[in-house]
Amino acid sequence: MSDLKIAVFGGGSWATAIVKMLCEQMEQVGWYMRNQQTIDYILENKHNPNYLSSAEFQTNKLKISSDINEMVCYADLLIFAIPSAFISKELDKIKDTLGTKIIFSAIKGIIPETGLIVGEHFHEKYGIPYENIGVITGPCHAEEVAMERLSYLTVACQDTEKATQLSCYLRSHYIKTKISDDIIGTEYAAMLKNIYAIAAGVAHGLGYGDNFQAVLMSNSIREMKRFIKKVHKMKRNINNSAYLGDLLVTGYSIFSRNRMFGNMIGKGYTVKSAMMEMSMVAEGFYAAKSTFILNKQLGANTPIIDAVYAILYKKQSPVKIFKNLVESLD
């Protein structure tokens, strides 16, 4: 893997942050984004005009294209950072087989069309073995990567050599990395924490204080543990950064778009109006429905997920839902 070619797929904040990290360690980085106008702007002005505009690129290191097949053909390792609600549409454009590729997901959500997390989707639909599938997760906000603030990443893959290789490319003086073999658990955790961040935002919008937020986060990590154990039982420490750390930063940070989305709902916005006002996708909105449906089969005790689902999809009153939720927390 010494001559590994890597391409990042997506034009949002996470994709931009990952490209920035890779450019610091590699001579060339592939980058797919569908908007040719944005590509032209980046090549001329050395930064993404739409996301993380403070992150400057050495454009001579970028092999950037609006042709997804060109990037698939170019790279050995593909990093997908396209929102889960839109990835199927992009994948349908791919003409070549993905069977020989190494796939890493930086997507924090469930694919609506299949109800699967990204790794499971690539395994079941494209036949990619799990040893060639990995996850890049936090706790890490793209905005702080752009500002080069100290951040931590977890790179998960069953093949620890692949995880180690990619973690070396992502590491820098402000990025620390660790590896994990829990690709299912870390990816589900990355998805679930967005739902809990929406709950934290709703609570803030309704006027609940820090004392309640602490209880909500404490219950969230235990709920996450119960859910993930039902999905994929293995020995894991739920208090590690990839699980608890990622939950906390998403639940509390001013950069958290899921918390921001929930905050607007708590303040009285409709789901539609809140989504229209946000410039970025709140992955937790889509994840709440898919997770609620999946849990009908799993049977985990998930009062917080149930509450978020009821508010977002059953249009029930956040005030009433949280009044009942309060009684189920400890």
Residue with tokens 């997507």: 107
Q: How far is it, in rounded angstroms, from Cα 104 to Cα 278?
A: 27
Is residue 230 annotated as part of the catalytic site, yes or no? Answer: no
- Within 10 angstroms of residue 19's Cβ, the number of other Cβ atoms is 28
SS (H, E, C) 69-133: HHHHHHCCEEEECCCHHHHHHHHCCCCCCCCCCEEEECCCCEECCCCEEHHHHHHHHHCCCHHHE
In the chain the beta strands, taken as DSSP E runs, fall at 6-9, 29-32, 62-65, 77-80, 102-105, 110-111, 116-117, 133-137, 151-157, 175-180
DSSP code of residue 29: E
Q: Please identify which of the residues 101, 108, 193, 225 carries the catalytic annotation.
A: 193
Do 3 and 74 contact (CB within 8 A), yes or no?
no
Q: Sort 187 into a burial class: Cβ within 10 Å, 0-12 / 13-18 / 19+.
A: buried
CA atoms within 13 A on the CB side of 329: 22
Closest CA relative to residue 134, chosen from 168, 179, 173: 179
Q: Which residues are catalytic?
A: 193
